[in-house]
Amino acid sequence: MRDGSVSSRSRSFGFTLVELVLSVILFAVLTVATALILRILLVTWSSQERRGGIAINLDRGIEEMARDLRKAREVQSTAGYDEIRYRLGTGSYYIFYLYNTDDSYIPPPAFSQSSYQLRRAPLNGGINGTFTYGAGDIVVNDVVPPSTSDLSFSGSLVTIDLTVTRADETIRSRTQMRPRNV
């Protein structure tokens, strides 16, 4: 071996079949683990984005209600109806109520559906006046019906307790306030 020849074993620079198979298996395991972690991150991000959107809309709706009710001169609520009637200024009467196209407004409302819109509509004929069921501006969508959600006025305290469900996300927001002018 001193004649300058190199053994065939020391000149081999390739991989053995076992090393190649182990490398492929290790690469596959790392790829699957990375894909699972990425999927979990994307699902979590999507869920948080959806929850954030629901929370923003719900908070905006409750703030809109609270702003109107703080300025109210007169407030009224009927047990079982989950609605709040109020007067702004000298003669503008409004109602916050839950609406679903497949439900009827036969006193008291049945609340037989799984999801409602919270609406604000004008009242005709004073605080005990009438309104067109389905009329008015949408304040919040996808509201869970009573007994989970609650719109009521007792003593001098207004309770706004709304739960919103979209897809598999549920957010609840509750506040109580006293109208300043009642």
Enumerate residues 6+ apart whose C-beta is below 8 A from 162: 58, 61, 62, 118, 140, 143, 144, 149, 172, 173, 174
Average pLDDT, the chain: 88
Contact indicator for 163, 149 with CB cutoff of 8 Å: yes
| Percentage with pLDDT > 90 across the chain | 57
User: 145: which DSSP letter?
Assistant: P
Instruction: Pick the more confident residue, 107 or 101.
Output: 101
pLDDT-based confidence at residue 2 (cuts at 50, 70, 90): low
Query: Residues 50-83: pLDDT tens digits?
Result: 888 888 999 999 999 999 999 999 999 987 788 9
Phi, psi of 11 (to 5 degrees): -90, -10
Q: What does the pLDDT average to over 28-43?
A: 95
- Nearest Cα to 87, choosing from 50, 57, 129? 129
Query: Residues 109-156: pLDDT tens digits?
Result: 888 899 999 999 999 999 999 999 999 999 999 999 887 888 989 888
